[in-house]
């Protein structure tokens, strides 16, 4: 068993932002959560992290309803890397990464295993030489990597990541997703870059207005038709290379035309009614 969402819905401020979503990732799989802005990716991740309770449906960890499990126990199994984290407090990078060990600590504080996990997480994220720097004095990308390191130090079985490649240069985007893909844990990653999703995810789940429009292997899901329907852009999709990977090339002009076409038709229809 892992972390499961079954038929979950969430009404926020009177609007249904997650609508009957089921997600049962296989253990060790990396699942990409895709969909346009406001489609419900972050909301679904918040439900799966136990930060909010679904209006209906159920989130389970190892078969038990998430809300019935103690927070510390959830935190030993599930690590979350959110989109925004800020602090004005003078904490070092190593201090931030050490926060990942809190769920594992007993009454007498940290031990050698905690320090080993922190050192290892700093190394895996390429932050060893920045460990004693102040977190708030790092670049946006370095801060993001620190949060990944904190999640790694937590040694979770499941990792929920909300657009973790934001702020990262291409080298670190590739490195980070390769790192997550290599980890022997289940991960659910909200992503905007469809090519990165196709490169690293075992499966993708595509949301639109809170509902699932498609799910499965990237090569099966990321078709030209789906991209046009969900994102309102035209794209050429090819499957090539030794690894039969999906490559998506966007047609900026045609994408704009598709958007205009759809919205002009919509405006004409509403002016007739
Ligand atoms: N705190 C909130 N209260 C009420 N509605 C919210 C709140 N936060 C987000 N929403 C709404 O929930 C819907 C889904 O937002 P969500 O952030 O989950 O989408 P997303 O797919 O992660 O978007 P993005 O790609 O822009 O990050 C949006 O319509 C948004 O306006």
Q: Do both 261 and 169 map to the same domain?
A: no
Same domain, 143 and 253: no
Contact 13 CB / ligand 1 (< 6 Å): yes
137 and 262 fall within a common domain: no
> Which of 201, 216, 231 is the endpoint of a domain?
216
- The complex scores an ipTM of 0.97
For residues 100 and 80, is the Cβ–Cβ distance under 8 A? no
110 CA → ligand 1 middle, Å: 37
For residue 271, pLDDT beyond 70: no
Q: Is the C-beta atom of 46 inside 6 A of ligand 1?
A: no
Q: Please indicate, yes or no, whether residues 243 and 195 belong to a single structural domain of this protein.
A: no
* pLDDT of 170 higher than 80: yes
**174, 148, 153, 46: which is closest to 98 by C-alpha?**
153
Q: Which atom of ligand 1 is nearest to the CA of 207?
A: 21
> 110: exposed, middle or buried (C-beta count within 10 Å: 0-12, 13-18, 19+)?
middle
Measured in Å, residue 39 CA sits from the centre of ligand 1 at 7
- Residues 246 and 188 placed together within one structural domain of the fold: no
Q: Minimal CA–CA distance to 18: which of 208, 158, 146, 181?
A: 208
Q: Is 94's C-beta closer than 6 angstroms to any atom of ligand 1?
A: no
Total domains, the chain: 2
Task: Report d(CA 150, CA 140) in Å as an integer.
Answer: 15
The protein residue with its alpha carbon nearest to ligand 1, atom 28, reads 38
- Check: pTM over 0.80? Answer yes or no: yes
> Across all residues in the chain, what is the average pLDDT?
88
Whether residues 184 and 258 fall in one domain: no
Beta bridge partners of 134: 92
Which domain covers residue 53, as residue numbers? Answer: 3-216
How far apart are alpha carbons 64 and 17 in whole angstroms?
A: 24
Query: Which amino acid residue places its CA nearest to atom 15 of ligand 1?
Result: 38
Question: Do 53 and 188 fall within a single domain?
Answer: yes
Asked if residue 41 has its Cβ within 6 Å of ligand 1, the reply is yes
Domain match, 10 and 80 both: yes
- Which H/E stretch holds residue 155? none
Query: Which among 38, 44, 55 is the best mutation to test ligand 1's pocket, defined by most ligand atoms within 8 Å of the CB?
Result: 38
Confidence of residue 24 (pLDDT cuts 50, 70, 90): very high
Find the 118 Cα to ligand 1 centroid distance in Å: 33
The answer to whether the CB of 208 is under 6 A from ligand 1 is no
- 216, 236, 253 - which closes a domain: 216
| Token output for 40 | 């419900």
Task: Tell whether 206 and 240 lie within a shared domain.
Answer: no
Residues 120 and 202 in one domain: yes
Per-residue pLDDT tens over the stretch 97-142: 999 888 887 655 667 778 899 999 999 988 999 999 998 888 888 8
Whether residue 231 sits in one domain with residue 209: no
């Amino acid at each position: 068993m892992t972390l499961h969402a079954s038929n979950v819905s969430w009404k926020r401020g009177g609007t249904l932002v997650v609508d009957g979503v089921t997600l049962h990732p296989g253990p060790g799989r990396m699942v990409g959560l895709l969909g346009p802005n406001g489609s419900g990716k972050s909301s679904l991740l918040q439900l799966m992290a136990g930060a909010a309770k679904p209006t209906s449906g159920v989130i389970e960890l190892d078969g038990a309803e998430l809300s019935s499990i103690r927070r510390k126990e959830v935190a030993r199994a599930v690590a979350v890397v959110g989109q925004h984290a800020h602090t004005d407090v003078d904490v070092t990078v190593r201090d931030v990464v050490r926060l990942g060990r809190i769920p594992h600590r007993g009454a007498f504080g940290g031990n050698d295993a905690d320090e080993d996990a922190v050192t290892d997480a700093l190394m895996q994220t390429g932050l060893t030489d920045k460990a004693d720097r102040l977190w708030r004095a790092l670049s946006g990308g370095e801060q993001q990597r620190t949060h990944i390191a904190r999640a790694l130090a937590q040694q979770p079985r499941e990792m929920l990541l909300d657009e973790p490649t934001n702020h990262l240069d291409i080298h670190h985007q590739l490195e980070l997703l390769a790192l997550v893909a290599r980890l022997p844990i289940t991960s659910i990653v909200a992503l905007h870059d469809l090519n990165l999703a196709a490169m690293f995810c075992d499966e993708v789940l595509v949301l639109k207005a809170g509902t699932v429009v498609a799910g499965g292997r990237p090569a099966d899901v990321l078709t030209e038709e789906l991209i046009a329907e969900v994102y309102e852009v035209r794209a050429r999709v090819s499957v090539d290379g030794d690894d039969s990977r999906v490559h998506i090339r966007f047609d900026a002009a045609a994408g704009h035309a598709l958007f205009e076409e759809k919205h002009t038709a919509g405006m004409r229809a509403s002016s007739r009614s």
